Amino acid sequence: TSSREILYAMKTIRLNRIKMEGCVDELRNEIAIMRDLDHPHIVRAIETFEWKGEISIVMELCSGGDLYDRDPYTEAEAARIINSVLGAVAHMHSRNIIHRDLKFENILFVTTSSRSEVKVIDFGLSKVYGEDKAHLKDAVGTMYTMAPEVIMGDYSEMADMWSIGKYRRASESRTRAK
C-alpha cells in the first residue's frame, strides 16, 4: 500500500488578545457556519477545539494562493472559477447563509496546479438569516466589493451576487494601480 501525506491548515486565535466585544462570538459564529457547510468549493473545517484560552480550527489546506496571485485569467479559466464560486454561493444561500465578504482574497486555489480547484474561505462576517429571506442592516464587508444596498443598510443574500460581479472591476482597478 502507498501512504499519502495529508496536510492541513490550522488557524489559532488566542482569546485573551481579542479586546473588541463580540469578536469571540463572531469567531464562534464562523466556526458554526463552516461546520454546517459541506461543498466541494467551500473550505471545510476538519476539527475545532478550545484549550488553554485558544480556539483552533483545523481546515483543508489551500496552498495555491488567492485569485490575485494568478490574475489575469483566460476566459475559460474565469468561467471555470466563477462556476465554482457560484456553486458554493448557491449552496450557502440554500442553507440561508450569506457570506458578506466575497472578494479575490477569500477565494483560494487548493494547489499550485494550473487546473486547481478553488475554495471560498473566511466566514467571519457570514450570517445565518431566516426562512423569510434576509433583510440585513449591518454594513459589513470590503468596500470595493460591497453592494450599494449593504452601504444603504437594507440588503439580502443577493449582495453576495453583487460581490461576485465586482471581481472583474476590482481586478482591473488593482492592475491599473500597479
Residue 102 cell numbers, joined: 466575497
- Catalytic residue positions, numbered: 101
For residues 77 and 26, give the distance between their C-alpha atoms in angstroms, rounded to a whole number: 34
Please confirm whether the linkage preceding 148 is cis (ω < 30° from 0): no
For residues 116 and 64, give the distance between their C-alpha atoms in angstroms, rounded to a whole number: 8
For residues 135 and 86, give the distance between their C-alpha atoms in angstroms, rounded to a whole number: 21
